[in-house]
Structure 1
């Protein structure tokens, strides 16, 4: 399971790329919300 989690970093499939982009977007939104505070 750990290998699968680390493999998400490598673009081997469209789904993995989407998960990575979603996480990055969520992080950006979280940082922006903190800045607004």
Structure 2
């Protein structure tokens, strides 16, 4: 993966890995605000 690639959109339900081993999902509110 290119380190210069950035997200330009979020979709509801998209998984987000954080803390190295935790996963959350994008809420509809977050996707709309992004």
Same fold (TM over 0.5): no
> In proportion to residue count, which structure has more strand?
2
Q: Which has the higher contact order (CA 8 A, sep 6+)?
A: 2
- TM-score, scaled relative to structure 2: 0.27
TM-score, structure 1 as length reference: 0.26
Q: Kindly indicate which of the two structures has a greater share of residues assigned to helix.
A: 1
